[in-house]
């Protein structure tokens, strides 16, 4: 059983340590999971019109990016695949999905500024609501990693598809925790769990973060 945390300061410090340990993996996981789900539906919806070569190249890229930690050689290989999709299949859904992977590469290389710039540019150019929302969600997490929690909250205030509601609430909780606002963080995490349960989706780590915050003092 986890050690009882008694003060709000200790609770917030525990959350911050948790973020440092798992934050990068969470950002990368959202990029891969969200892009993977969208790619599957895109394949179903647009199968007849998508180039077979683009589909194959994207599948190869996805398999490579599923590695928990990429070597420098693998990052270069992935970058080459992304550039190939952009140059040979620009304007397709596969090219847009690949661009999200570029942000994941930057996170993997501890280049959060690069990830921020990539995601910002993606948002400015994307015409697909779901991918735009996914990029905003990842941008908010990157902003938290860059100690810009206020910016993250502003990013999450934009229109993001309801299917990402649980992840948005979870990220909002992380932003409030980073700002030292445990009551708002607690409410956001509770909203995230409720939304995830309603949608039947797993949500890694949220209950642990709630446990670390502890029960709100009613006195």
Q: Decide if pLDDT at 164 tops 70.
A: yes
Distance CA 178, CA 91 (A): 37
pLDDT of residue 216: 63
- Residue 215 neighbours by CB distance under 10 Å: 8
Say how far apart CA 192 and CA 12 lie, in whole Å. 18
Tokens describing residue 88: 């040979």
Percent of the chain having pLDDT more than 90? 30
What are the angstrom distances between the C-alpha of 70 and each of 59, 63, 90, 140, 203? 17, 12, 25, 23, 24
Annotation: CATH topology of 8-213: 1.25.40
Report pLDDT for 173. 94
Structure pTM?
0.74
Mean pLDDT confidence for 152-173: 92
């Amino acid at each position: 059983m986890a050690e009882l945390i008694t003060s709000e300061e200790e609770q917030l410090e525990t959350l911050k340590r948790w973020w440092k340990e798992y934050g990068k993996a969470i950002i990368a996981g959202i990029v891969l999971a969200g892009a993977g789900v969208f790619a599957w539906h895109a394949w179903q919806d647009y199968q007849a019109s998508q180039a077979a070569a683009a589909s194959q190249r994207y599948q190869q890229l996805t398999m490579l990016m599923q590695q928990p930690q990429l070597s420098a050689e693998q990052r270069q290989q992935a970058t080459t695949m992304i550039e190939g999709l952009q140059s040979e299949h620009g304007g397709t859904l596969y090219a847009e999905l690949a661009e999200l992977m570029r942000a994941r590469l930057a996170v993997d290389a501890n280049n959060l500024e690069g990830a921020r710039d990539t995601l910002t540019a993606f948002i400015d150019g994307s015409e697909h609501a779901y991918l735009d929302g996914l990029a905003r969600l990842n941008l908010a997490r990157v902003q938290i990693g860059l100690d810009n929690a206020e910016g993250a909250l502003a990013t999450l205030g934009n229109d993001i598809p309801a299917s990402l509601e649980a992840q948005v609430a979870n990220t909002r909780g992380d932003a409030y925790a980073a700002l030292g606002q445990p009551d708002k963080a607690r409410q956001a995490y509770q909203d995230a769990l409720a939304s995830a349960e309603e949608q039947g989706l797993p949500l890694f780590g949220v209950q642990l973060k709630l446990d670390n915050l502890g029960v709100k003092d009613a006195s």
